[in-house]
Amino acid sequence: MRLAIIGIGLMGGSLALTLKKKGFVQNVIGVDPNVEHQQKALELGIVDEVMDLDKAIAASDIIAIATPVNIAEQLLPLILNQVDKQVVFDLGSTKESIVHIANAQSKKGRFVPTHPMWGTEFSGPAAAQSDAFAEKATVICNKEQIDEDALELVEKLYQQLGMHILYMNAKQHDIHVAYVSHISHITSFALANTVLEKEKESDAIFELASGGFESTVRLAKSNADMWVPIFMQNKENVLDVLNEHISQLRKFKASLEKENFEYLSELIHNANQIKRILK
């Protein structure tokens, strides 16, 4: 089987490495406008060859769109217009918008909207990791709209990655990821900016930074070119979550201002209930 990876970065590269290792695909074609990414992906054995988009579509059996979500939306109609029996799936963090675009295409059944719930703060082919997806969840959206053979192939692909599959509609997906993923990144960006603003005249922060600080701001190293389009596409859900988050921050602020330490303790104890979810 021949796999075309559109966007040879962290996600696409990790996907290719793992599927080649598992023997699920025998040949990987890379498509990326960045010449440095092309060369690095070839050097690292992530892809076997590099082609332009049209040739890659014609030469492949399955096509993974692993670009930022705004680019994926631009590419999807072009790809679906050229496919015959090929299967197309994406790896993007937002689903409602791209599903809407897919639904306007005559070959919409060849498209499988997916979101593997894994990633790091790094980007580019050098960040790709083999076996990165194991024991993580992946989401497949609106499966009733997908051709049976296309759905079955992508399900088998994710099973090869060692992932468990969740099914939901695109609207539900975007609400859920706003809470479990998108707000985490905004919080990390905001905390990093807070620290940089207050500590910009001092190097002491780097001496004092602990593991807790590092884990909290780790996501602040994430790529703006990827995350700004995600926030744009999921704006309403992200704003809802931000409003609730700001409300929670105000409760902590008020409890300190009023020296209501009993209420502060209640807030922390209530937050501790997250242990039931994150074991």
CATH of the domain at 27: 3.40.50.720
Last residue of a domain, one of 168, 185, 219: 168
Last residue of a domain, one of 109, 137, 168: 168
pLDDT on residue 34: 95
Nearest residue to 16 (alpha-carbon basis) of 35, 39, 44, 36: 44
- For residues 11 and 95, membership in a common domain is answered with yes
pLDDT tens sequence across 182-224: 999 999 999 999 888 876 666 666 666 666 777 788 899 999 9
Domain of residue 124, residue span? 2-168
- For residues 209 and 249, membership in a common domain is answered with yes
pLDDT on residue 204: 65
DSSP 141-164: E-GGGS-HHHHHHHHHHHHHTTPE
What CA–CA distance (Å, rounded) separates 187 from 164?
28
What CA–CA distance (Å, rounded) separates 158 from 116?
9
pLDDT on residue 173: 98
- For residues 16 and 145, membership in a common domain is answered with yes
pLDDT on residue 206: 64
Q: Which residues of the chain have pLDDT under 50?
A: none
Structure tokens at 127: 């960040």
For residue 40, give every residue at least 6 positions away whose Cβ sits within 8 Å of its Cβ, in sequence order, or none. Answer: 8, 46, 124, 125, 126
- For residues 51 and 138, membership in a common domain is answered with yes
89, 154 contact by CB (below 8 A): yes
Last residue of a domain, one of 168, 190, 217: 168
- For residues 42 and 130, membership in a common domain is answered with yes
